[in-house]
Amino acid sequence: MTDLRPSLSRRRLFSLTAGGASALLLAQTARAAGPKPVFKPVPDSKLLKALDHVPGDVVQLPEHLRPLAEQLLARAKGAVTSAIARPASAKGDKIAAAGLKFVARLTPARATRLTASSEQLQVAKVSPFGAFARPGVKLQSVAGFRATVTKVVDVSKLKFDPKVKAPQWKAPLVKKIEFHLNRVRCIEETSEASDSDEILLGGQLVEPNGAVKKFDRFKVSDDFDAGEKVPFDYEMCGHLPRSSLPSVLQAMCPNGSPDDPHHGRKLVSASLDPQVIPFPSTHGLVLVMGEQDSGGFNDLLQDIYAALRDEIAAELDALGVSAGSALGGALGSIVPGLGTAIGAAIGAALGWVLGEFIEWLVGLFNNEDDLIEAKHWTIQLPSPELSAIQGLGQSLPAPAGVWASPLKNLKFRGDGGRYEAHVHWRVFT
């Protein structure tokens, strides 16, 4: 067994490779007597595997929500791409204006590619966006949209009834949800001439009440090679107390503890107050990975969400349902017998649409020479009751009062490279 002396501690003593953590053993400074304790990173083969599907995943929307979601998605795609291809056509359309604002913030190369892709969609003999092939065509002006809305929610049951009481939830209730990043793995580095990749990661959380929370972009690594991984939790350090970690191991276990080994880098959090959040509650995480900065995603999501929400509200008003009561100041405001049903249903559809839209839009300007890709992950909590969430199934080890989902594997591709981000969500009582 090799004894690495303190004088060697400045060297790179570990390499996080696809085959597992380095087999190098790190020795702590000797005590006055007795053998030196030896620290060995947990090998890859012992780390928990990230899954393609985890409890709470919204793999596809319920059948009764799909027609509404498809129309919302076509409205967003059609308005944004037609405005980018023909900017003069965007006048008076909030969604189209959001698209123009977004493309203005892209790098010149990305803006050029997005414009070219948008122009190609405009000259197609049959528009993939149907009635929404041009800006200005709002949801309520399209034949069949009213029928779509009434299929989502039985309007006859959405009249405010003061006798209907708010749901009585059984304690303990969860109060907060967090999304954590556990590790990023480079499966295959990009095809550039440089020896390694610099990777940035950022994104947003679409909450069930309509809020879009941004978390700032950060550098995952500026020296990313094929086979390498960057950890953000404590899993590789096992049961070793943080106080006894040699400094060289600190980078391997930047967050968490032996009692909470899967506590990773917190990306974003949100309240689960049932007085404000409709249940079942749908939460959409959007992650954008790239080799260079590309802002504007947060404003784009917020602007499109607000515009679609206003158009839905106008249709509800036309149906005789007070949108102010049904949707509230924020989508899903709880009005007994009214806001819960419509807020949860339409919130779920809108959250899914935004994630699908961003993935699709980024795909229009991603190419083999420029790594940028978006992935969205939509989950749904059945209720704020801890027992209901525990009933979803398998979970990660976590401290008392915390329920953590298994690790989710989000796969990114671009510029010849392949990467994986392993994430999970957790709730707190």
Residue 166: the pLDDT is 63
Q: Tens digit of pLDDT for each residue in 179-225?
A: 999 999 988 876 655 555 678 899 999 988 778 899 888 999 887 77
Residue 340: the pLDDT is 54
Instruction: State the pTM of this model.
Output: 0.83
Residue stretches of the chain with pLDDT short of 70: 1-39, 153-166, 190-197, 292-295, 320-343, 414-416
Of the candidates 174, 209, 110, 207, the residue with the CA atom closest to the CA atom of residue 398 = 174
Cβ neighbourhood burial of 293 (10 Å; 0-12, 13-18, 19+): exposed
Helices 108-122, 339-365: axis angle to 10 degrees equals 110
Phi and psi (nearest 5°) for 28? Answer: -80, 155
For residues 425 and 178, is the Cβ–Cβ distance under 8 A?
yes
Q: Tens digit of pLDDT for each residue in 310-367?
A: 888 788 777 766 544 444 434 444 333 334 556 677 788 888 999 999 999 998 988 7
Preceding omega of 280 cis (within 30 degrees of 0): yes
Phi and psi (nearest 5°) for 375? Answer: -130, 140
Residue 47: the pLDDT is 86
